[in-house]
Amino acid sequence: MEKEDVKVLNKGEEEEMELQGYRLCRWRLALVGIGVLCTGGFLLLLLYWMPEWCVKSTCNRTTARDADVVLLRSTDEFRRWFLARVRVMLAPGSNPFHSLETQTTSPSSPSCPFSSLSLANGHTPNPSDGSHAQELIKRYADYQPTQIRYFTFHSTKYYWNDGLQNFDVFIGLDDLHVSCSNLHSEHSAGLTKNQQEYRRLFFGVNEIAVKVPSVFKLLIKEVLNPFYIFQLFSVILWSADEYYYYAVAILFMSVISIATSLYTIKKQYIMLHDMVATHSVVRVSVCRASNEIEEILSTDLVPGDVMVIPSNGTIMPCDAVLVSGTCIVNESMLTGESVPVTKTNLPNPLPGESGEEDDSAYNTEDHKRHTLFCGTHVIQTRFYTGELVKAVVVRTGFSTAKGQLVRSILYPKPTDFKLYRDAYLFLLCLVAVAGIGFVYSIVLSILKKEPAKTIIIESLDIITITVPPALPAAMTAGIVYAQRRLKHLGIFCISPQRINICGQINLVCFDKTGTLTEDGLDLWGVQRVENGSFHLSEENAYKENLVKSQFVACMATCHSLTKIEGQLSGDPLDLKMFEATGWILEEATEEETSLHNRIMPTVVRPPKQLLPPEPAVSPEQDMELYELSSTYEIGIVRQFPFSSALQRMCVVARLLGEKRMDAYTKGAPEVVASLCKKETVPENFAEILEGYTKQGFRVIALAHRRLESKLTWHKVQNINRDHIEGNMEFLGLIIMQNKLKAETPAVLQELHRASIRTVMVTGDNMLTAISVARDCGMIPPKDTVIIADALPPHDGQAAKITWRYAEKLSKTSCVEEVNISLEEVCHVDEPKTQELYHFAMNGKSFAVISEHFPDMLQKLVLHGTVFARMAPDQKTQLIEVLQGVDYFVGMCGDGANDCGALKRAHGGISLSELEASVASPFTSRTPNISCVPSLIREGRAALITSFCVFKFMALYSIIQYISVTLLYSILSNLGDFQFLFIDIAIILLIVFTMSLNPAWKELVSRRPPSGLISGPLLFSVLTQILICLGFQTITFLWVRRQSWYTVWTPLTDACILSSHLNVSDHNNTEVDDHNIQNYENTSLFYVSSFQYLVVAIVFSKGKPFRQPSYKNWPFVLSALSLYVFLLFLLFHPVKSIDMFLEIVCVPFEWRVKLFLIILVNAAASVLVETFILDIVLWKLVFSRDKQGSFGVTPVAATPQGAIDLRAYKCLSRLCCPSKMAPKARYMHLAQELSVDPDWPPKPTTTTEAKSLPENGSSYQIMTNS
């Protein structure tokens, strides 16, 4: 094997990483140690910041197998480096699933097919693990102790696998790819004590350990941030230069900043620790291989253990699959839905009837209806007499569903935002400028023969002037204020850095149910079917004549409702349906169940007032027989829970007194109709169904089948649902109404006006989703909806997409007119007549298109508005695809199944305050989407504030740099108290008040730029630098040309009225070693002080993203006070203040000239920033950046808008004669599609995947004949 090999971990997964092996090298370590001593510890800091340098400078490359240290690099766009120490443990075997005993219930597999999934695993072994291993090795003397190499990274253990010649992860029982029947036959008896201990060596302690770091650890980590190190360097330097006051001020600010940061981080760790600690250690009963029940701590559980679920419920300490009994579980921790879910035991196909598809390998995703997930609350269990409710442990620790959620919170991906990358680039530019000043000051000082100490301090001082140490605190201020404003709006933020990113959002995905619409459903009506034809729709089924009909029996039995503490509980849809019948549900108590040898069925019966009156009882009739015959009740014998894959649920029930059983099914109308006899489904079924779905109703179909008399109770308990769900009779439809929330249409209209795209991502039916999208204004009435139906490859045929319209187009519209254009900006006077189109697709089509038409998918999401029947992971994939075409994506969901998407989006807002919202950066107290525009508005305000502050801080450092550089040429400098006045009285006061502007009251149709490296911002900064440089240079040169000018000394003071005696007395007592007091210094101090205030005012932007600066009274008050104070100082010198600031007295006419310089400087700054930049360049960039309706630039709303747009076109022809390509990928795609004659696809076409892509395209469009 080559030494330079690079291994890939978790291939194809989200956490894919490249791995390189290294061995420690002593001589390299010694050299680094010497380097650390020589640099005073700075090299150590550098190696701490750069893990790859640390490893490469202290180690030699080796194979991954022999490595002491592994260097890891993520393969995502961030390409981050990590290092991990390789450890060695001794164990009796190399595989957790090896059998150490001759007789065991666990399979002895010589080689375990390791999985390459990137799921989290394990926990670092306890100190006791070593002794466990020693004991096991002694106990199994025949076994040769094996050395196992492993490393831990992000709470996951990676073990060396000789078979794969790579490090790999042990996840759990999934590694064995065990089938459902094998799970029952080979894994349901339990493990021996020895097997459990052996497996624990590999899987570790079953615990999701969120260690809350000590304040000291957090402090060290925070203080070692490069910014704080630079601040420390600055403080030391200023102290050496006797500049104590500002050093103390910066030190104080840094301490406050670090303390706030530590408090926030610590609080988040404690919150997460408390969230996972609820189930970390509980006592559980496990079945041993010797048929004994043993009570152990949940931390000792390992995959393969058989756990007994107590009847009074528990919080699950691991992921486990039910092998006997039934559980009712609250899964709100994972899904956000507080609705109890019924979990049934894993089906055990009998050898005679099991086909290939029936006995599939167990998988937590496919068999989630049988899996109890870690952290979920088992409310109650139902069981057979003499049989316990048992579950086989599948995964433990960080491998569990909850463990993965916690890991994603503990180790999030960094937020990639142009602003932060540009900020570092900008700082590098400032460092380069500082480097020039550094060299300049050294050369100048040497030529003037300055002492060495002065040269070192003054040259290093130039660096601290150019790179402002107060920058981090200043940048944070705007975000802190925005966070505070969001809190007042009821929006809570756990990731403050995301607020700025929210200012860039130009597309928002919405979940439907509970987000756009009300949470619950209301029964709108029912439409029964008899003899193959529909009755008229009826308001409800609560009628005497229907009480004994199969339709009502199906409504009363086909559900997963249960009674918890006397209250009916379950899916809201089931609840509404059952309540509409008016029937009563009764469940057997534990005592009743224990008297029988099977689970007592749940019984439903109608209220007595609905039953027809019975004839009076005669005395000779047996009362008991009479009661039995007059009672009408149905027992639910077996439930097949709702499956999202099958889109239906089914129950087997028996009417009291009947021998034969009945099967009732409810589900998606198309699915249920396909299971029924054709003659029982009305001919106009599709037409009626489409009529309801177009109106936005949720439609559920019901069906019934009379089962054969040979099907006994025992057979029903073991039968596969496919044998029951077929050959049924269609009973009719239930029509449910899901009302829009009152705020929804107005909010979507506001987003549309702001040119922010809105997309619906839902698990609901396609046509219902399209209808809701039309109702709420997401799809305007005249727009066309094109449905993409994709089919996977089948019988040798390639995958294909068929295109159809959701509804027939009106006569006035025509398919050929449907197009997309970026050229609309050139035809301002012509109103846009083309009709827009929207794509809609379901989850299955999305999966097929993702796999077989990857380049088509990007084109579809450009106009995709409705994504229906989407699974949780597909929602996340959609967000990724949208981000892949350069959209800034917001996601708003109610926490139910939206966790992944909320985390992945640039700005995820959860409307649920349940635990699932821990994964979301933002949580809204207001349970509607009105929080979305509020968040975007605040994000835009915070982003503009960040630009203003950054620009101001850059100008502040450059203005001061210019002053100091000019003064260095005459061996002068600014005085300590001049620096102090500028840095504290002007800069800090202005920075912390200019960030207070609240957000603008409405969303406008343009976005702030995303980065600092953009035309207008660079133009703004550079022009202001040149203006300031020009006016300071003019002042510096002009003062030296004045008739009264001479080199200043106390005796040659230019002020005629000043008392020479007093001045000389003052200066005799304090000798001016640093040559601070001179005419150049005083003149530059006045001009530069006003320059700081001028740039602060011109940079403090208001409309259209923030409220105008005059509404920010702390800023106005601060700026006015400083103006008044400086003007007073200029025209009315106060001796004590002049002495304090080391200002010299200058003639009155020079003061007037200085005032004129300041006025002209201010006028130039305002003119350039307000007129040239705001009116011309700002609009030029925004017009190009504006995306409008899905890539089409909206027509200017006002005559002024049209004039501005014409002006922009003229200017763009002058400035940029060659056509500029749009920056964003989605705009580039829109431009391509605008000239594509085959786009959008016509309803008569089919798009087929090619096996070999030609010309970069992986599909071809064909017209159906």
Please give the positions annotated as active site.
511
Taking the C-alpha atoms of residue 107 and residue 175, their distance in angstroms, rounded to an integer, is 13
Report how far apart the first and last C-alpha atoms of the chain are (Å, whole number). 59
Beta strands in 6-46 (DSSP E): 7-9, 17-24
Taking the C-alpha atoms of residue 333 and residue 352, their distance in angstroms, rounded to an integer, is 40
Taking the C-alpha atoms of residue 825 and residue 1227, their distance in angstroms, rounded to an integer, is 13
CA-CA-CA-CA dihedral for 1119, 1121, 1122, 1127, to nearest 10: 120
Q: What count of Cα atoms within 13 Å lies in the side-chain half-sphere of residue 677?
A: 11
∠1020-1166-1201 over CA atoms, to 5°? 75
Q: Tokens representing 321?
A: 């699959």
Q: Tokens representing 1244?
A: 């008569």
Q: Tokens representing 897?
A: 């199944």
Question: Cβ distance 17 to 72 under 8 Å?
Answer: yes
User: Which DSSP string corresponds to 870-933?
Assistant: --HHHHHHHHHHHHHTT--EEEEE-SSS-HHHHHHSSEEEES--SGGGGGSSEEESSSSTTHHH
∠1194-1200-1204 over CA atoms, to 5°? 70
User: Which DSSP string corresponds to 375-404?
Assistant: T-EEEEEE--TT---EEEEEE-GGGSHHHH
Q: Which residues are paired to 864 by β-bridges?
A: 839
Taking the C-alpha atoms of residue 774 and residue 754, their distance in angstroms, rounded to an integer, is 19
Q: Tokens representing 202?
A: 């590999």
Taking the C-alpha atoms of residue 520 and residue 277, their distance in angstroms, rounded to an integer, is 32
CB atoms within 10 A of CB 281: 12
Q: Which residues are paired to 586 by β-bridges?
A: 603
Q: Which residues are paired to 529 by β-bridges?
A: 534
- Provide the 8-state DSSP code for 110: S
Residue 749, C-beta contacts closer than 8 angstroms, at least 6 positions apart: 777
Q: Tokens representing 576?
A: 């509404």
513-to-510, 516, 522, 756 alpha-carbon distances in Å: 9, 6, 13, 21
Q: Tokens representing 410?
A: 């503990």
Residue indicated by tokens 């006791």:
128
Question: Cβ distance 419 to 500 under 8 Å?
Answer: yes
Taking the C-alpha atoms of residue 772 and residue 738, their distance in angstroms, rounded to an integer, is 9
Q: What count of Cα atoms within 13 Å lies in the side-chain half-sphere of residue 406?
A: 30
Q: What count of Cα atoms within 13 Å lies in the side-chain half-sphere of residue 30?
A: 3
Question: Are β-strands 166-169 and 156-161 bridged in parallel, bridged antiparallel, or unpaired?
Answer: antiparallel
Residue indicated by tokens 């510096």:
1036
User: Which DSSP string corresponds to 1148-1191?
Assistant: HHHHHHHHHHHHHHHHHHHIIIIIIIIIIIHHHHHHHH--TBTT
Question: Nearest to residue 50, comparing CAs of 72, 19, 81?
Answer: 81
**Separation of CA 1023 from chain center:** 39
